[in-house]
Structure 1
Amino acid sequence: MNPVSDKLTAGATAGDAVSSARESSVREGILEVPGRVTLHHGGTLEGVRIAWRLVGPSGAPVIAALGGISANRRVCLTEDPRDSWWSEIVGPGRALDTARYRILSIDYLGGSGESTGPVAGQTFPSLSSYDQADALLRVLNHLGLKSLRAFAGGSYGGMVGLAFAERYPERLSHLIVIGAADRAHPMATAWRSVQRNIVRYAIERGQPAEGLKLARALAMATYRSSEEFAARFSGAPTRAGDRFVFPVEEYLFARGADYATRYRPESFLCLSESIDLHRVDATRIFVPTTAVAVREDQLVPLADIRAMVARLPSGRLHEISSVFGHDAFLKEPEQLRAIFSSALGETP
């Protein structure tokens, strides 16, 4: 049963807070959905909150932009550029040009942002990429947006885009997915399962942040390519007390420690699981779709995206190479610029 209804979202205006960070170019708010929301895997949530942000010229076509499970609604054009997770790709004159388009994004349900998410010590229902797609639809209805010019999603955001395109094709003109397939690969699920169990083990022992640090360090080793690590971390280890510390070890645990200060362990568990629960029917996605596969991606193998595109009724595949592996969607603006321009029918 479709958990979204126009009647429900039509009255969901309480809690809306509009910011004038750039005088009509940046709007953001929190949509409060009254009553109970039924989720794809059978759970329910009460009093759902969905934080959203819309950036760009008034009246311009709208592109939804969603990223990995650590991403939030602040895609670009923040006061501090470090707060924007896709600023190398999205912004004035960028691959997704905010002078031509409005960019819409949300904080994921279950995440560490201002949308409804888990609280320490409490259980939180399992989430599907379909649930995130439904959340985005509620925001579209709330803002009076009839359709999206495109949906550009990287990693988990690409999974959400596939779910949105399957469920709401009349609301989307073109789908662009980068480093995402119609289901998770078992090897990637294996890595993430170990990460989640590290976090659960640490929570049980009263050290949730330490568990998240370790899990993120392990995850970082899967996001990039062996070529990049060989180029950056082939130096000699240094002695630290009675043991040696390797350059790559320093990098991984520094990144893990930083992550643990900014994200909730319970949110990591929720959204990491959501990745592995992801499964859509590619044969039912009739929206024209551009899929971008990265040959060096350890998490989403090239073969999986090729197979998905073969099942899509209207799919086109672009294969790129990048030492950044799975993170290429964050780090390859020039390669993505040409692909986005082609997908959006832009002229140079």
Structure 2
Amino acid sequence: MNKFPADSVGLVEAHDLKLSDDGKPWKLNRGELPELVVRYEVYGQMSELKDNVILICAPLTADAHAAGYHSITDKVPGWWEPIIGPGKAIDTNKFCVICSNNLGGCKGTTGPASINPQTGNPYGSQFPHISIDDMVQVQRALVQKLGIKNLAAVVGGSMGGFMAMKWAIDYPEMVKKCIIIATTTRLSTQALGFESVGRSMIVNDPEFNGGDYYQNPDEQICVQGPVTGLSHARQLAHITYLSAIALERKHARHRKREANPDKFQTGFAVETYLEYQGQKFLQRFDANSYLHITWAMDQFDLEEEYGSLAQAFSSIDAEVLNINLSTDWLFPPPESRLISLELLNQQKIVSSVELDTPYGHDGFLLKDMPDLSSVMGSFLDKEQQEHSLESHDLMKQRKDYLWLEKVITPKSRVLDLGCGDGTLIDALWHAHKICGVGMEKDLNSINACLAKNVPVLQWDLNHGLSDIAD
């Protein structure tokens, strides 16, 4: 009897693939590795043409295990179980889903704790600095090794959104759709400050030893090295992943234990909660990996890399869905909307949605986010989009539509304010290839637009119109 939920991919296994199998070192933007191994997982069946593949770009501390269970005794599934599986937003009945552990991580892909074949010891301080681009290059090599030429979609949240954008920018011929969630074109100065303090906590831990703290390579990484610094860095970062609303609802000023004045411990519930999060993090992550990946994240800046956002996005051919979270103060919605605005002004196909959630930045990882599932599912559901031809047949019965068909010239671009379910734009496209984008606030209507493959912006008419180019 199957003990797993019906909408789970069930038992899964991780695969390790050596990418540097030609004997040559793996080149990075800054340095090289004598060899490179990537760990990945696959969910769902790849089509004969290998054209149904969705690549998941993992966020900062996530690994390749995005869905399912590694054994029948596992109590906790993959980190994006609410989104990936049969009948879910990323439907494994239709798509083959691939997720890999990021370069520099500590869950199978080559990272600082991996053994350097040239020395027989962990890389430690000798591990080269990496970049978001380096991570994407590893993903691309994996995809090519698997014989995949085109991706149905690339999906990433937070730092994963950085990688997803790089995919769409640098390999436009490979990416059909791109979903970015709770991300921006670079970290804000405030976010950089939090990252900097977190790294300082690690490198100033007496047990850090310059990064060479792996006394026993066979021992779990979590019981070695600067565990105090790493725990504190995680506690600090965890605050940025939540919202003030979420923290207040969960903890308020309740006391979980007696105060300890000697240690200046207040006993407040939020204090014990963060201590728990820090200790739990030690069971699955390595301090050096945290340093290298956050460093790569901080260096990412599309405007600096390409000269301007206009230049960065000029090559994108993919249809883009940009999802913001209302209480995300690590990647604030106003900053994220700049992505949608620039794409729109370059006449790219983009939809932009802001989900109302009390959970903050980490909301996209939680199971209690049905709106996220519905929006993503509508955007990816090819079968619904193919049925949208019915819109044109219905619109031909309306006199106002017939009038619009006459006055709007072919190849025009239309902005439909209060577009409803997108029927007008959809019909104009099928009749005369007139491109359009809708503006709408109602989420049900937005889902209907996305299901028709109609670009839609969930923007306020009083503030969004002035920024849109003619």
TM-score tier after normalising by the smaller chain length:
0.7 to 0.9
Matched, 1:85 2:79: yes
Residue number in structure 2 paired with 1:191:
194
Task: Measure, in 2, the Cα distance between the counterparts of 1:117 and 1:290.
Answer: 31
Once the two structures are superposed, the pairs formed by residues 188-337 of structure 1 within 5 Å of their partners are 188-202=191-205, 203-204=207-208, 208-237=226-255, 238-242=257-261, 243-280=265-302, 281-312=312-343, 313=346, 314=348, 315-331=350-366, 332-337=368-373
Residue number in structure 1 paired with 2:132:
129
Once the two structures are superposed, the pairs formed by residues 137-176 of structure 1 within 5 Å of their partners are 137-176=140-179
Task: Measure, in 2, the Cα distance between the counterparts of 1:337 and 1:262.
Answer: 27
SS of alignment partner, residue 169 of structure 1: coil
What is the Cα-based RMSD across aligned positions, in Å?
2.1
SS of alignment partner, residue 378 of structure 2: helix
Task: Measure, in 2, the Cα distance between the counterparts of 1:114 and 1:262.
Answer: 12
Task: Measure, in 1, the Cα distance between the counterparts of 2:112 and 2:288.
Answer: 6
SS of alignment partner, residue 304 of structure 1: helix
Distance 1:333 1:90, change over 3 A: farther
Name which of structure 1's ranges 44-53 and 283-292 shifts more when overlaid on structure 2: 283-292
Per the TM alignment, residue 285 of structure 1 is displaced from its structure 2 partner at its CA by 2.9
Deviation string, structure 1 residues 232-273 (Cα, Å, up to 9, x no partner): 111432324435311001111101111012110000001111
Contact 2:84 2:92 survives alignment (8 Å): yes
Give the paired residue count. Answer: 326
Residue number in structure 2 paired with 1:11:
none
**What code does the residue aligned with 1:227 have?**
I
SS of alignment partner, residue 258 of structure 2: strand
Contact 2:131 2:299 survives alignment (8 Å): yes
Per the TM alignment, residue 146 of structure 1 is displaced from its structure 2 partner at its CA by 1.2
Task: Measure, in 1, the Cα distance between the counterparts of 2:160 and 2:139.
Answer: 11
Task: Measure, in 1, the Cα distance between the counterparts of 2:168 and 2:99.
Answer: 16
Task: Measure, in 2, the Cα distance between the counterparts of 1:241 and 1:229.
Answer: 22
Per the TM alignment, residue 48 of structure 1 is displaced from its structure 2 partner at its CA by 1.0
Name which of structure 1's ranges 134-143 and 334-343 shifts more when overlaid on structure 2: 334-343
SS of alignment partner, residue 76 of structure 2: helix
Question: Which residues of structure 2 form unaligned runs of 5+?
Answer: 1-8, 114-121, 214-224, 303-311, 385-450, 452-470
Name which of structure 1's ranges 99-108 and 272-281 shifts more when overlaid on structure 2: 272-281
Per the TM alignment, residue 22 of structure 1 is displaced from its structure 2 partner at its CA by 7.4
Contact 1:81 1:87 survives alignment (8 Å): no
SS of alignment partner, residue 128 of structure 2: coil
**What code does the residue aligned with 1:210 have?**
T
Percent identity (aligned) = 26
Per the TM alignment, residue 99 of structure 1 is displaced from its structure 2 partner at its CA by 1.5
Residue number in structure 1 paired with 2:16:
29
Per the TM alignment, residue 29 of structure 1 is displaced from its structure 2 partner at its CA by 3.1
Q: What TM-score results when the alignment is normalised by the length of structure 2? A: 0.66
Higher share in strand: 1
SS of alignment partner, residue 51 of structure 1: strand
SS of alignment partner, residue 79 of structure 2: coil
Q: What TM-score results when the alignment is normalised by the length of structure 1? A: 0.87
Higher RCO, 1 or 2 (CA under 8 Å, sep at least 6)?
1
Question: Which residues of structure 1 form unaligned runs of 5+?
Answer: 1-20
Per the TM alignment, residue 58 of structure 1 is displaced from its structure 2 partner at its CA by 3.8
Per the TM alignment, residue 309 of structure 1 is displaced from its structure 2 partner at its CA by 1.5
Q: Which of 57, 67, 70 is the aligned partner of 1:66?
A: 57
Task: Measure, in 1, the Cα distance between the counterparts of 2:301 and 2:234.
Answer: 24
Contact 2:260 2:267 survives alignment (8 Å): no
Structure showing greater Rg: 2
Task: Measure, in 2, the Cα distance between the counterparts of 1:176 and 1:75.
Answer: 16
SS of alignment partner, residue 71 of structure 1: coil
